[in-house]
Structure 1
Amino acid sequence: MVLESKALLQIQKPIATVFEGIVNPEIMTQYFISESSGRLETGKTLIWKFPEFPDQFPITNVRVEKEHLITFVWDPETVVNITLEALPNQSTLVKVSEKGKALNDANIEWALQNTGGWANFLACMKAYLEYGVHLRKGAFDFMRTKV
């Protein structure tokens, strides 16, 4: 059995706006990451940084289908899939799944944490794209590694 974390949320913006909000690092740094070495594009390898952690996260195996799918690997055991679905009222349904880890106690904890993490990603993206609110700012300062 393979574990999967999932989250979904409707964002009151057209699919083109939501897609750009995910692939464009200038937008994504407003609600999720602190730095990116580039735009999410098929075939690219990127480095992401988060404001809470000193680590750098390599983003590999990137595949992008415009306004439909973004997929990448940032944990060698899992694949992240973000799908977008245009809804009739000019809003977009965003679904995130991350799967690939085997069933065991440690990975059950991973699935629970990542489901919450992806739900947070979606809530922060919604707040920023719809209202310009930086919901993530300061939310995880308690996690900063002490130097």
Structure 2
Amino acid sequence: MRLESNATIQIQKPVGEVFEGIVNPEKMTKYFISESSGRLETGKNVIWKFPEFNERFPISEIKIETNRSISFVWDPETVVNITLEKLPDNSTIVRVNENGKELNADNLKWALENSGGWANFLACMKAFLEYGIQLRKGAFDFMKEKPNK
């Protein structure tokens, strides 16, 4: 049995704006990551940095279908699939699925944490794209490594 993490939200913006909000690092750094080595594009590899971690995360196996889906690997055991669904009112449903880990105690903890993490990603993206609010700013400062005294 394989575990998966899921999160879904509706964003009151057209699918093109939501898509651009995910693949464009200038937008994504306003609500999710602090740095990116480039735009998400099929066949390209990029590096992400988060404000609360010192590590950098390689993003590989990127596959893009404009205004429909984004998939990538950032954990060798899983694939992240983000799908976009345009609605008649010109809003967009965003679904995130990350799957692939075997069922065990450590991976069950991962699935629960990542489901919350992806829900946070979606809420932060919605706040930024709809209202220009940066929910992550300062939200995870408590997680930063403290310098040794």
* TM exceeding 0.5: yes
Alpha-carbon shift at residue 69 of structure 1 (Å): 0.5
* Partner of residue 4, structure 1: 4
Question: Which ranges of 4 or more aligned residues in structure 1 deviate by more than 4 Å?
Answer: none
The whole-number CA distance in structure 1 between the counterparts of 2:127 and 2:5 is: 22
TM-score using structure 2 length = 0.98
Alpha-carbon shift at residue 146 of structure 1 (Å): 1.4
CA RMSD between the two structures: 0.4
* Partner of residue 57, structure 1: 57
* Partner of residue 35, structure 1: 35
* Partner of residue 89, structure 1: 89
5+ residue gaps, structure 2, are: none
- The C-alpha deviation readout for 1:53-109, integer Å capped at 9, x for no partner, is 110000000000000010000000000000000001010000000000000000000
AA aligned opposite 2:25:
P
Count the aligned residue pairs: 147
TM-score using structure 1 length = 0.99
* Partner of residue 126, structure 1: 126
Counterparts of 1:63-82 in structure 2, within 5 Å, are 63-82=63-82
Q: What secondary structure, in the 3-state scheme, does the structure 1 residue paired with 2:146 have?
A: coil
- The C-alpha deviation readout for 1:117-137, integer Å capped at 9, x for no partner, is 000000000000000000111
User: How high is the sequence identity, in percent, across the aligned residues?
Assistant: 70
Counterparts of 1:13-32 in structure 2, within 5 Å, are 13-32=13-32
